[in-house]
């Protein structure tokens, strides 16, 4: 008991010595903060590559007859664009990147539960990414990010490389999921009960089981496709007794939850940024937290709404339609709660706040069109058209990516000790916001009027709006270039931020920026929710964090 009195955190007080060599510190690091930054840098490199592919797509579509690249090449370009944006950009940024960087700090932990596994799951990721892009050398996959057989069985050798690469990313995701679940369950600071966890932690807590469970279905499907392509075992080829629809079931059993893997952490980011800059508590904390869990659970039960045209029996389709409608309820609760959070606030317009508000406005469009698509009669019209392209970009760019940018402007000081430039940031936001809407909003009508997706050429009646979209997409790319310039400039020349430039109240802002290797000198004790600005901070044991006092060397340190 005497020991417990000295160290209320018990074993969590134990501090490992900081590694000294460059390689152990910055390359094969076990530190969750460094690993998070490694994820973010790697994912943004892949983001640039697949962003270039996106511009190749839009440049092709300037003319109804294409002509920028050959149709075969065009198919490779959009397939790798989709695969890379999902598996190498959005998922790693939101889980491995911001997840690693932020949530262990927010729960008062010294690291994640399995630092070595964390390092492993990071290092699998760039290898898999290089494999995916290397498929261009041997004929990249052409059948979109969904790679439906039998057409994917006809694909060039790169399709097998795609299977292997995505399988590896899946392994990395699964490990991360296990790591995060255990960390959140076991390593919260004393007093950090579930209903005192910051909402970003809730976002990760809802996401991690999805990573852990759903990814295994994808792994099985990818292994089967790889074996069929390489060794001819007929899983999916109907002329040999396989079932092509089985692939669709297995793929969407992963890929629908994957949509929530890509949006729940972004919900978390927005739920942190809004109260900080509105200077008031987030509205309806419990409902926001629990609705994340409801979305995660329901997310497992709606996968076949991607398959309304695949020939399923009608009575099987009905529950998928209704359950998808029902997901709209917890999602709506979040949107209403965020909007209500602004009411009565003292809103400070940092770039992070602009992106968070932009997120609500754009994600809501993606959410509403998602409800439209769940209606079977409507889906039978627009399935496989540009309406889908518009919908998914409103969710993944207007939602997830805007969330990523909000997180970058918000937590960049915690990573680097410096602020991103706010003027460049605001230019970035407005150009991106306008460019994004002009690129993707017209696609809704193009899809409804008859333009199918995944096409290298199109009906000349759609020329005007396609040109308009292509030109707007260049504006988006320009905005993203401003962002990269901002990051590269600010990392050396940005204004020093100090520990807490935003006056935020979660735990990560109560320690230096960037934090020490061991995060907290003393593991703090938590007494309440962080979000009430009229109360003193609900933490004890943080008195020494911003002083020069060295951390105590715990008994048994080596």
Which of positions 59-118 make contact with other proteins (CB under 8 A)? Answer: 66, 71-72, 75
Would the CA dihedral through 114, 118, 124, 128 be positive or negative?
A: positive
Burial class of 323 by CB neighbour count within 10 A (0 to 12, 13 to 18, 19+): middle
Nearer to other proteins, 333 or 554 (CB): 333
Position among 3, 6, 127, 329 found at the interface with other proteins (CB under 8 A)? 329
Decide: is 232 part of the binding site for other proteins (CB under 8 A): no
Decide: is 495 part of the binding site for other proteins (CB under 8 A): no
User: Checking DSSP bridges between strand 539-540 and strand 525-526, what pairing results, if any?
Assistant: antiparallel
**Interaction mask 236-265, other proteins, x per CB under 8 A:** --xxxx-xxx--------------------
Task: Kindly indicate which of the ranges 158-166, 185-193, 336-344, 428-436 contains the residues binding other proteins, using the contact rule CB under 8 A.
Answer: 336-344
Residue 368's SS3 state is helix
Q: Are 432 and 480 in contact (CB under 8 A)?
A: yes
Decide: is 231 part of the binding site for other proteins (CB under 8 A): no
**Tokens, residue 478:** 């320009």
Q: Are 379 and 305 in contact (CB under 8 A)?
A: yes
All residues at 6 or more sequence positions from 484 whose CB lies less than 8 Å from its CB, including other chains: 44, 48
Decide: is 533 part of the binding site for other proteins (CB under 8 A): yes
* CA gap 40, 443 in Å, rounded: 30
Decide: is 21 part of the binding site for other proteins (CB under 8 A): no
Shortest distance in whole angstroms from residue 385 CB to other proteins: 6
**Interaction mask 190-229, other proteins, x per CB under 8 A:** ----------------------------------------
Helix (H) or strand (E) holding 539: strand 539-540
Nearer to other proteins, 283 or 517 (CB): 283
Decide: is 309 part of the binding site for other proteins (CB under 8 A): yes
Task: Kindly indicate which of the ranges 9-17, 160-168, 317-325, 403-411 contains the residues binding other proteins, using the contact rule CB under 8 A.
Answer: 317-325
Helix (H) or strand (E) holding 431: helix 422-449
Burial class of 460 by CB neighbour count within 10 A (0 to 12, 13 to 18, 19+): exposed
Decide: is 557 part of the binding site for other proteins (CB under 8 A): no
Question: Quick one: three-class SS letters along 381-393?
Answer: HHCCEHHHHHHHH
Nearer to other proteins, 8 or 144 (CB): 144
Nearer to other proteins, 150 or 512 (CB): 150
Decide: is 345 part of the binding site for other proteins (CB under 8 A): yes
- Neighbouring-strand partners of residue 41: none
Shortest distance in whole angstroms from residue 500 CB to other proteins: 13
Residue 146's SS3 state is coil
Position among 5, 231, 311, 423 found at the interface with other proteins (CB under 8 A)? 311
- What is the chain's alpha carbon radius of gyration, rounded to the nearest angstrom? 24
Nearer to other proteins, 337 or 439 (CB): 337
Which of 193, 196, 187, 201 has its CA nearest to residue 11? 187
Decide: is 528 part of the binding site for other proteins (CB under 8 A): no
* Binding-site size, other proteins (CB under 8 A): 88
Decide: is 139 part of the binding site for other proteins (CB under 8 A): no
* CA gap 522, 161 in Å, rounded: 47
Decide: is 279 part of the binding site for other proteins (CB under 8 A): yes
Position among 124, 197, 342, 397 found at the interface with other proteins (CB under 8 A)? 342
Q: Are 31 and 112 in contact (CB under 8 A)?
A: no
Task: Kindly indicate which of the ranges 6-14, 15-23, 251-259, 445-453 contains the residues binding other proteins, using the contact rule CB under 8 A.
Answer: 445-453
Decide: is 558 part of the binding site for other proteins (CB under 8 A): no
Q: Are 197 and 283 in contact (CB under 8 A)?
A: no
Decide: is 310 part of the binding site for other proteins (CB under 8 A): yes
């Amino acid at each position: 008991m005497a020991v417990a009195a000295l160290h209320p955190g018990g074993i969590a007080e134990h501090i490992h010595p900081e590694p000294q060599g460059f390689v152990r510190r910055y390359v094969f690091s076990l530190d969750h903060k460094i690993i998070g930054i490694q994820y973010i840098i790697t994912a943004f490199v892949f983001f640039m590559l697949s962003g270039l592919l996106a511009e190749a797509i839009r440049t092709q579509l300037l003319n109804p007859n294409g002509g920028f690249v050959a149709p075969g090449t065009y198919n490779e370009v959009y397939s790798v664009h989709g695969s890379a944006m999902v598996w190498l950009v959005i998922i790693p940024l939101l889980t491995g990147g911001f997840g690693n960087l932020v949530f262990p700090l927010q729960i008062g932990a010294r690291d994640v539960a399995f630092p070595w596994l964390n390092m492993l799951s990071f290092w699998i990721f760039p290898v898999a990414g290089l494999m995916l892009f290397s498929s261009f050398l041997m004929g990249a996959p052409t059948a979109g990010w969904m790679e439906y057989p039998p057409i994917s069985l006809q694909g060039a050798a790169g399709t097998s490389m795609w299977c292997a690469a995505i399988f590896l990313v899946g392994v990395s995701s699964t490990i991360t999921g296990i790591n995060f679940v255990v960390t959140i369950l076991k390593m919260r600071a004393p007093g950090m009960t579930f209903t005192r966890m910051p909402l970003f932690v809730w976002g990760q807590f809802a996401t991690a089981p999805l990573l852990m469970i759903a990814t295994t279905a994808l792994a099985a499907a990818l292994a089967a496709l790889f074996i069929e392509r390489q060794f001819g075992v007929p899983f999916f080829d109907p002329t040999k007794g396989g079932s092509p629809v089985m692939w669709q079931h297995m793929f969407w059993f992963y890929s629908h939850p994957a949509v929530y893997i890509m949006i729940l952490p972004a919900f978390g980011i927005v739920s942190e940024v809004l109260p900080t800059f509105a200077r008031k508590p987030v509205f309806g904390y419990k409902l926001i937290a629990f609705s994340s869990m409801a979305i995660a659970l329901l997310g497992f039960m709606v996968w076949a709404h991607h398959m309304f045209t695949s020939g399923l029996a009608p009575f099987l389709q009905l529950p998928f339609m209704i359950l998808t409608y029902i997901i709209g309820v917890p999602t709506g609760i979040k949107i209403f709660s965020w909007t209500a959070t602004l009411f009565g606030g003292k809103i400070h317009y940092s770039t992070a706040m602009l992106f968070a508000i932009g997120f609500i406005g754009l994600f809501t469009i993606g959410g509403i069109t998602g409800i439209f698509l769940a209606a079977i009669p409507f889906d039978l019209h627009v399935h496989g058209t540009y309406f889908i392209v518009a919908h998914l970009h409103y969710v993944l760019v207007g939602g997830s990516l805007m969330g990523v940018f909000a997180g970058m402007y918000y937590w960049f000081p915690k990573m680097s000790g410096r602020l991103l430039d706010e003027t460049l940031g605001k230019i970035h936001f407005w150009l991106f916001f306008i460019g994004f809407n002009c690129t993707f909003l017209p696609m809704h009508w193009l899809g409804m009027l008859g333009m199918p997706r995944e096409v290298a050429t199109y009906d000349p009646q759609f020329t005007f709006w396609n040109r308009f979209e292509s030109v707007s997409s260049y504006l988006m790319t320009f905005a993203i270039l401003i962002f990269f310039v901002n990051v590269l400039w600010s990392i050396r020349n940005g204004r020093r931020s100090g520990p807490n430039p935003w006056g935020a109240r979660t735990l990560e802002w109560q320690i230096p920026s960037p934090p020490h290797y061991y995060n907290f000198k003393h593991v703090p004790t938590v007494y309440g929710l962080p979000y009430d600005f009229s109360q003193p901070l609900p933490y004890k044991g943080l008195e020494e964090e911003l002083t020069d006092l060295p951390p105590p060397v715990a008994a048994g340190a080596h």
